[in-house]
């Protein structure tokens, strides 16, 4: 009985000690300018994680593409992918704690055989990661079913997360090889979401779907139309990535320096039909990431927190203070026990929570809530940095030096606050994704092309004359 009680006491602690230690390290790593009251890194998150060098090949020819020119010379190999992901997730588990969000990313994930894709997701989950498969979405329902359902017809997972990338920079999609307008892709976006609806109807497997879109000077004006047309398809996040000069230089077709972040965010707000406050909750450096969490009720989007209401900001601060680090994806009974311990230690959290809820209901309107169910929707903008700037900044950072160039200083600060890291088990360190793509990918992919070369196609000699 004593052993059971001690175990129960340990697993019902609101925040795992490893999580608390990982958060403390992340907070200390942040530059001073990013340690704001709104910062989530180091207080309720460690950031996102991504895989690298696991399947760099893709069957599209996007312009631009952040992968190096060598990526498509590497064979997709399931055993290699599983082994590399296991090693990378083991390191992220060691350095970032027992829970985290990780992207299964490389080239195109659907080039993995379904069994291999499923095994990798299981490996990521075994290290406490919540995996999201990053894809161009150009696969059929049979592939999705084989990933999520075993040969005996039993669901492998109760819940899956996929991010579908759709935009006019992408070349190779079946039925829309070279789209000229974003509207040409709406049918493909809907078909992608419909596959997951069918998966739920047939097998009860729930899903979280994100929509990714590369923004260039050519399609920036179409951002509002994409959001308006696709908002009700089933996506729970719209993420926009202004293009940068990273990756294969042959595919750089425009001047990406002209992409103003404020102008793009204004386009996103136009599509959302609402102001999107990105400074209420921050993820790393706001020059890299802008995120607005909220929900739709009917046609109107509402922010999770009202940044103009001091009471909501106080509620945010109390959340970080008392609930920061609580693993909300834990099993319901375990989560309830942990929350009960928080309330027992800090009874004021109940009044704070009820106060926030009451204000939110008033802002939305009880009548609207009676007519419409709230639908969560997050809007994100991720700004990758140009490869030349990253290379210069990283070289100095590796030497422990600070640049005297304001542009490179900004790059160094953004890299130091990076919320998206990739694990290198050979060195025992995590590196920012921009460093991975700008500095490390070319050599890594050259080595992989020797380790996993593409099959050599042999010509068939002509048949002998009869």
- pLDDT for residue 162 is more than 50: yes
- pLDDT for residue 273 is more than 60: yes
- pLDDT for residue 152 is more than 60: yes
Instruction: Please report, rounded to a whole number, the percentage of residues in the chain having pLDDT higher than 90.
Output: 92
What is the predicted pLDDT for the residue at 466?
A: 37
What is the predicted pLDDT for the residue at 465?
A: 41
Q: Which of 345, 100, 129, 377 lies closest to 234, judged by CA?
A: 377
Q: Which of 258, 220, 218 lies closest to 241, judged by CA?
A: 220
Q: What pLDDT digit, counting tens, does each position of 303-321 carry? A: 999 999 999 999 999 999 9
**What is the pLDDT averaged over residues 128-148?**
98
Compute the CA torsion angle 311, 314, 319, 320 (nearest 10 deg): 160
**What is the pLDDT averaged over residues 1-30?**
92
**What is the pLDDT averaged over residues 433-443?**
95
Q: Give domain limits for the chain.
A: 24-29+46-309+375-450
Looking at domain 24-29+46-309+375-450, its CATH architecture is Alpha-Beta Barrel (3.20)
Q: Which tokens sit at 212?
A: 């990714």
What is the predicted pLDDT for the residue at 458?
A: 60
Q: Is pTM, for the whole model, over 0.85?
A: yes
What is the predicted pLDDT for the residue at 258?
A: 87
- pLDDT for residue 4 is more than 90: no
Average pLDDT of the chain, as a whole number: 95
Q: Which tokens sit at 42?
A: 């180091």
75 touches 452 (CB < 8 A): yes
CA distance 294 to 273: 13
CB within 8 A of 374, min separation 6: which ones?
Answer: 295, 296, 297, 364
What is the predicted pLDDT for the residue at 456?
A: 75
| Residue ranges in 319-386 assigned as alpha helix (H) | 332-345, 348-364, 366-371
Q: What pLDDT digit, counting tens, does each position of 72-131 carry? A: 999 999 999 999 999 999 999 999 999 999 999 999 999 999 999 999 999 999 999 999
**What is the pLDDT averaged over residues 408-415?**
97
């Amino acid at each position: 009985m004593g052993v059971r009680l001690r175990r129960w006491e340990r697993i019902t602690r609101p925040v795992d000690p490893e999580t608390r230690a990982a958060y403390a390290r992340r907070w200390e790593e942040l530059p001073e300018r990013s340690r704001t009251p709104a910062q989530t890194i180091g207080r309720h998150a460690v950031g996102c994680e991504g895989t690298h060098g696991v399947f760099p090949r893709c069957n599209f020819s996007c312009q631009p593409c952040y992968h190096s020119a060598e990526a498509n010379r590497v064979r997709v190999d399931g055993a290699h992918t599983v082994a590399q992901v296991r090693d990378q997730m083991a390191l992220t588990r060691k350095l970032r704690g027992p829970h985290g969000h990780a992207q299964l990313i490389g080239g195109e994930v659907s080039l993995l055989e379904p069994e291999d894709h499923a095994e990798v997701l299981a490996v990521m989950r075994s290290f406490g990661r919540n995996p999201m498969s990053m894809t161009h979405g150009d696969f059929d329902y049979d592939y999705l079913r084989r990933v999520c359902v075993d040969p005996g017809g039993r669901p492998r997972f109760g819940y899956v997360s996929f991010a579908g990338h759709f935009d006019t920079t992408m070349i190779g999609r079946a039925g829309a090889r070279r789209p000229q307008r974003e509207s040409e892709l709406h049918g493909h976006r809907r078909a992608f979401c419909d596959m997951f609806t069918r998966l739920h109807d047939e097998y009860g497997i729930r899903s979280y779907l994100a929509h990714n879109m590369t923004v260039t000077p050519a399609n920036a004006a179409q951002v509002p139309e994409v959001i308006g047309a696709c908002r009700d398809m089933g996506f729970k996040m719209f993420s926009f990535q202004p293009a940068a000069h990273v990756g294969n230089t042959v595919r750089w077709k425009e001047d990406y320096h002209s992409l103003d972040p404020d102008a793009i965010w204004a386009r996103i707000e136009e599509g959302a039909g609402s102001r999107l406050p990105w400074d209420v909750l921050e993820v790393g450096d706001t020059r890299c990431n802008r995120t607005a969490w909220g929900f739709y009720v009917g046609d109107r989007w509402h922010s999770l927190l009202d940044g103009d209401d001091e009471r909501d900001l106080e509620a945010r601060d109390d959340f970080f203070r008392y609930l920061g680090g609580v693993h909300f994806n834990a099993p319901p009974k375990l989560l309830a026990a942990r929350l009960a311990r928080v309330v027992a230690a800090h009874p004021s959290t109940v009044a704070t929570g009820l106060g926030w809820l009451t204000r939110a209901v008033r802002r939305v309107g009880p009548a609207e809530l009676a007519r419409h169910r709230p639908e969560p929707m997050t809007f994100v903008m991720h700004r990758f940095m140009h490869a030349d700037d990253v290379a210069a900044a990283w070289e100095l950072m590796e030497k422990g030096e600070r640049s005297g160039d304001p542009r490179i200083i900004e790059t160094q600060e953004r890299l130091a606050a990076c919320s998206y890291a990739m694990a290198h088990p050979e060195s025992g360190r995590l590196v920012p994704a921009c460093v991975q793509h700008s500095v490390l990918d070319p050599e890594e992919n050259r080595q992989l092309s020797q380790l996993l070369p593409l099959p050599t196609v042999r010509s068939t000699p002509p048949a002998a004359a009869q």
